[in-house]
Chains A and B, each alone.
Chain A
């Protein structure tokens, strides 16, 4: 009988909460591109005598993120000192809520490997501080041969939320689904920008294996994954490694392993890490959030993407695929909803937002909120299309012009489109002109050579000339009529 193995995976996600200042001091949280150690003070460098003062916004954002993940906010929580020695940890302990978190008992729904909905439980979301950054290259940028490492404390003290899942994840694919859903919801809540490239979201995974013969492997903590891809690969690697060990009758050791992205392997950590030692942080009294405050935060939490998408499908008749695209980020969903609220047909608006609007956002590398063409104007534009006043082709160029900052009317004018379309006389005149300019084509038609094809060619010329502002069948009729007259 062949053995089967079931991976049991828990995911820890660190996200950087969006605030203006650090968690325990007033240093700016925005240090990107600034020189090393330029955003530091006695508190975030752990100088003797310094003391922490908690940033209100961190508590707010922590609650918000927790609510986005269906967690319950805990009214009274506490901070602890988690001790270990590392140069990027200036106090020799990390100030963290750990086991007494601001939010707990949440969940997310993902699709499991056969496509059925699956609930991933979230144990908790707790607040803590980030550590400094280590540079392992020489000051001149050399990596090889550097005899030292260097510490920059600009990041030290940035507010983090650590989100710990229950071991409900069973594959690398599910892990990616989970963190994708988590990221989307947190981004919706605006508690964090969760920008992976800026290191605002980092992953650790606890991986163990259950064997069909009843054996359980020990839990291995895999650290240091900074992208979805790294998370996926690290879990796959670890599953394969542990499986092989167990198949060969070996034993999986309980240990911390580091993911090496370049080499694509996990390696046992040399330092005995996360020797978890806690005492109560005596410098911070218990954190108490009032029911009023919780209520206020809850009221500011937008409808979450899953719920939104369901509503789009149910109430607006959108396809599930379209609904998913439209709800992927809050700004786009809100743009779409504003467009519908301003009177646009939901399906047409959906089509436009997921094509034209997203394209415009990509080209301009901006979010929907900062687009020049506002949703109400887009709604007006789409109404004109629906009313037959503008063709889709023209509307697209009008929209393009609106993106350059023009008003709807200016954009229409610039595109050369005539409000209400081109009249029948004008079409007739245009057709006459085109026929005059292409006597050889007309001659071919008359001689019966490829008649249908040549007529189509002329029709295309006319359509181009009138910028699509006439219905094709109208134009065809006008050409037929003109040819018959001759």
Chain B
């Protein structure tokens, strides 16, 4: 097996056991990335020099007999909205210019002190607003499985990087599906953890009450390993929870068979009335059968408020929070500047009008509009009340249920550059992902198989708050049947299952 096909634990074990050096790992990954990056464009910044230096330090530790950490020499891609000290961080926007953060996000501090090595900063929709990675100021990213298609978004670069085999894992952020949807499009695992489980300190905020950082991996055990490291209470994030959730291995059923005995898996009644692309509908059917066979009890729950109001509620809250989060980009302290502006207002307007892309501007205007004193009660405050109903509806639904099985998206990845004329209809397609953020729930996006045209097909498990580990347990059982996701450019891929009616 080539190093690039290895998972996180295999790489770390190899480095620790001196089967290969961290530098060797880094160079192999770099080689692979250089081979594909001109087609995929997963990264905004490739951190070849700093990364190799970090790898060399890991090797030094190994040589000295010191503990290099559980992620020894594992190259990691970070979405470019996570601050990295000394390394340009853009959030996919022009407005940050060549800003170099004077500090690192907590997640990166945790990963690097566990021995991880920075591989690059991933492309993303500008300020995480989008679901194609097409709104990045640095151009679109391609789906490694079909270069003409989008990788999803907003963490499209992170998903594509892992799918293309640059690195065995990456971090993304998920405000309304931005980890789970690209994970699904790119055929890798993506976990949106329970809100409050992973520190947001150093994450350039979009919708602060919705944002959550999570990993992309090609194995469930890797997912648990990364979570074990990053799910830590952070005194710098006041919304970070004080308790730590245990993600230690082993996962799942000890006897090795596919065991979902006693797990109560629910389908959402209202969702079944909506149209899905045939391969996704097929995957749902197949997964229900598989889970039943594995001993799970399949039930049905109703989420009427979620189904009808979640999308509107989400966009109202996300836009309202976003317009305040983006107010700091004023050209004074960092990023793009308007040196010749004649006055304050002119400076603000020049910087912001030049620096933000169209989708970001639209959402800033929407957020400004909804929170105007004359409309605030009617829209912003109303949305926060609807959100209470949504969270309550989920809480009630989970009373007799361990997890909900549902699609991630209604359709397979579209073509790059295809513009949806009706933006709001595009928003509707987020119905399966964003309610999870509204209620602060964990959601695991996992690959089920591939279409005949070699496009990955994924589904999602959603659990009650703090059930992240349980989702990984279920995922681990399913992985025994579904196999581990492959890298897109490895020939062995796609032999598992294919779905009829695919693109």
**A49 to B206 CA separation, bound complex (whole angstroms):** 10
A53 and B327 contact, CB distance less than 8 A:
no
Determine if A83 and B327 form an interchain contact, defined as CB atoms under 8 angstroms apart: yes
The reply on B285 being an interface residue by CB < 8 A is no
Complex interface residues of chain A between 16 and 43 (CB less than 8 A to chain B): 42
A149, closest chain B residue (CB): B344
CA distance A83 to B323 in the complex (A): 9
A284→B238 contact, CB < 8 A:
yes
B102 at the interface (CB under 8 A from A): yes
Residue A245 is within 8 A (CB to CB) of chain B in the complex: no
- Taking a contact as CB atoms under 8 Å apart, the answer to whether B239 and A285 are in contact is yes
Decide if B103 is an interface residue (CB 8 Å cutoff): yes
Note all chain A residues with C-beta closer than 8 A to B96. Answer: 48
A117 within 8 A of B: no
Q: Is A51 an interface residue (CB 8 A)?
A: yes
For A48, the chain B residues whose CB sits under 8 A away are: 83, 89, 91, 96, 99, 101, 204-205, 328-329, 334
Q: Mark B322-338, 1 if CB is under 8 A from A, else 0.
A: 01101111101110000
A42–B105 Cα gap in the complex (Å)?
11
Contact A276 B384 (CB under 8 A): no
- Contact residues, A143-200 vs B (CB, 8 A): 151
B236 contacts A85, C-beta separation under 8 Å? no
Inter-chain contact B101/A49, CB cutoff 8 Å: yes
Task: Find chain A residues with CB under 8 A from B99 CB.
Answer: 48
The answer to whether A283 touches B238 (Cβ under 8 A) is yes
What sequence of 0s and 1s flags, for each residue 85-102 of chain B, a beta carbon within 8 Å of any chain A beta carbon? 000010100001001011
A53 touching B376 in the complex, CB below 8 Å, given contacts A85-B327, A91-B327, A280-B384:
no
Cα–Cα distance between A233 and B343 once the two chains are bound (Å): 31
Beta-carbon contact of A81 and B324 below 8 Å: yes
| CA of A175 to CA of B380, assembled, Å | 38
CA distance A384 to B283 in the complex (A): 100
Which residue of chain A lies nearest to B91 when distances are taken between CB atoms in the complex?
A: A48
CB distance from A193 to the nearest CB of B (A): 28
Docked complex Cα distance between A51 and B384 (Å): 22
A49:B327 contact, CB within 8 angstroms: no
Q: Which of A90, A271, A282 contacts B328 (CB 8 A)?
A: A90
Give chain B residues whose Cβ lies under 8 Å from the Cβ of A86.
344
Chain A's closest residue to B240 (CB) is: A51
A93 within 8 A of B: yes
Evaluate contact between B201 and A93: CB separation under 8 angstroms.
no
CB distance from B342 to the nearest CB of A (A): 10
Q: Does A206 contact B (CB under 8 A)?
A: no
Say yes or no: A279 contacts B327, CB within 8 Å. no
Asked whether B320 lies within 8 Å of A92 as measured between CB atoms, the reply is: no
Number of chain A residues close to chain B: CB under 8 A: 32
Structural contact, B372 and A277, CB atoms closer than 8 A:
yes
Q: Within the complex, what minimum Cβ distance (angstroms) separates B82 from chain A?
A: 8
A323 to chain B, nearest CB (A): 46
Does residue B428 face the partner (Cβ distance < 8 Å to A)? no
- Say if the beta carbon of B321 comes within 8 Å of chain A: yes
- In the bound complex, residues from chain B placing their C-beta under 8 Å from that of A282 are 207-209, 239, 321
In the complex, how many angstroms separate the beta carbon of B46 from the nearest chain A beta carbon?
21
B220 an interface residue at 8 Å Cβ cutoff?
A: no
The chain A residue with its CB closest to the CB of B237 is: A51
A277 in contact with B209 given A42-B103, A53-B238, A87-B332 (CB within 8 Å):
no
Q: Is A306 an interface residue (CB 8 A)?
A: no
Closest residue of B by beta carbon distance from A92: B327
A262 to B201, CA, bound (A): 45
Instruction: Confirm or deny: B438 has a beta carbon within 8 angstroms of a beta carbon on chain A.
Output: no
Q: Report yes or no: B200 in contact with A51, Cβ–Cβ below 8 A.
A: yes
Q: A45–B321 Cα gap in the complex (Å)?
A: 19
Q: Let me know if A50 is at the binding interface, CB within 8 A.
A: yes
A22 to chain B, nearest CB (A): 14
Report the interface size class on chain B: 35 or more
CB-CB nearest in chain B for A48: B204
The B interface, classified by DSSP as helix, strand, loop or mixed, is loop
Chain A, 46-92, CB within 8 A of any chain B CB? 46-54, 81, 83, 85-87, 90-92
The chain B residue with its CB closest to the CB of A151 is B332
Instruction: Count A/B pairs, Cβ under 8 Å.
Output: 106
Instruction: Tell me the minimal C-beta distance from B127 to chain A in angstroms.
Output: 10
Given contacts A45-B333, A48-B91, A277-B372, contact A92 B328 (CB under 8 A): yes
Q: Which residues of B contact A93 (CB under 8 A)?
A: 324, 327
Instruction: Report Cα–Cα, A45/B89, bound state, in Å.
Output: 17
Q: Measured between alpha carbons, how far is A322 from B494 in the docked complex, in Å?
A: 94
Chain A residues with CB under 8 A of B320: 279
The answer on a CB contact under 8 Å between B324 and A83 is: yes
In the complex, which of the residues B200, B209, B328, B373 contacts A91, with contact meaning CB atoms closer than 8 Å?
Answer: B328
Least distance between B260 CB and chain A CB atoms (Å)? 36
A133 vs B82: C-alpha distance when bound (angstroms): 29
Q: When the two chains form their complex, are residues A92 and B330 in contact, meaning their CB atoms are under 8 A apart?
A: yes
* Residues 308-349 of A contacting B (Cβ, < 8 Å): none
A49 touches B333 (CB 8 A): no
Residues of B within 8 A of A81 (CB): 324
B376 touches A278 (CB 8 A): yes
Asked whether A92 lies within 8 Å of B324 as measured between CB atoms, the reply is yes
B333→A90 contact, CB < 8 A: yes
Q: Which residues of B contact A53 (CB under 8 A)?
A: 235-236, 238
Q: A51 contacts which chain B residues (CB < 8 A)?
A: 200-201, 236-238
Whether A279 lies near B328 (C-beta < 8 A) is no
B159 CB-CB contact with A under 8 Å = no
Nearest residue, chain A, Cβ from B200: A51
**Interface hits, B292-333 → A, CB 8 Å:** 320-321, 323-324, 326-330, 332-333
Residue in A49, A85, A285 whose CB lies within 8 Å of B105: A49
Question: Does A279 contact B102, Cβ atoms closer than 8 Å?
Answer: no
Q: Are A283 and B333 in contact (CB under 8 A)?
A: no
Complex CA gap A91/B345 in Å reads 16
Looking at A53, A85, A151, A276, which has the most chain B CB atoms within 10 Å of its CB? A85
CB of A279 within 8 A of CB of B321, answer: yes
Confirm or deny: B153 has a beta carbon within 8 angstroms of a beta carbon on chain A. Answer: no
Contacts of B208 in A (CB 8 A): 282-283
CA distance A95 to B237 in the complex (A): 16
List which B216-247 residues lie within 8 A (CB) of chain A.
235-239
List residues of chain A with CB within 8 A of the CB of B380: 279
Complex-state Cα separation, A459 to B307, whole angstroms:
106
In whole Å, how far is B438's beta carbon from the nearest beta carbon of chain A? 13
- Are the C-beta atoms of B238 and A87 separated by less than 8 Å? no
Across the interface, B334 reaches (CB within 8 A) one of A47, A87, A283, namely A47
Are B102 and A42 interface neighbours, CB within 8 A? Answer: yes
Q: Give Cα distance in the complex from A86 to B102, angstroms.
A: 23
User: Complex formed: what's the CA distance from A412 to B201 in Å?
Assistant: 65
Task: Choose one: A47, A54, A92, A285; the contact of B101 (CB below 8 Å).
Answer: A47
B371 interface hit (Cβ, 8 Å) = yes
Contact between B238 and A52 (Cβ–Cβ < 8 Å)?
yes
Shortest Cβ distance from residue A176 to the other chain B in the assembled complex, whole angstroms? 33
> Please, how many angstroms separate the alpha-carbon atoms of A315 and B101 in the complex?
64
Which residues of B have CB within 8 Å of A91? 324, 327-328
User: Assuming A53-B235, A93-B327, is B321 touching A47 (CB within 8 A)?
Assistant: no
* A42-B102, A283-B238 known; A50-B201 Cβ under 8 A: yes
Among residues of A, the one whose C-beta sits closest to the C-beta of B205 is A49
The smallest beta-carbon distance between B478 and chain A, in angstroms, is: 34
State how many angstroms separate the Cβ of B267 from the closest Cβ of chain A. Answer: 32
Bound-state Cα–Cα, A210 to B320, Å? 39
- Whether A46 and B321, one on each chain, are in contact in the complex, defined by CB atoms closer than 8 angstroms, is no
Interface presence of B118 (CB below 8 A): no
The answer to whether B83 and A46 touch across the interface, beta carbons within 8 angstroms, is no
Assuming the contacts A42-B102, A92-B330, A278-B376, asked whether A49 and B371 have C-beta atoms less than 8 A apart, the reply is: no
B residues less than 8 Å from A49 (CB atoms): 81-83, 89, 101, 103, 105, 201-205
Known: A151-B332, A277-B376. 6 other contacts (CB 8 A): A42-B103, A47-B102, A47-B328, A49-B204, A53-B236, A92-B329
A-B residue pairs in contact (CB < 8 Å), sample of 10: A45-B333, A85-B330, A86-B344, A87-B332, A91-B327, A92-B327, A92-B330, A279-B380, A282-B321, A285-B239
Nearest first, the 9 A-B pairs at minimum CB distance are A92-B327, A282-B209, A282-B208, A48-B204, A49-B202, A49-B83, A46-B328, A91-B328, A81-B324
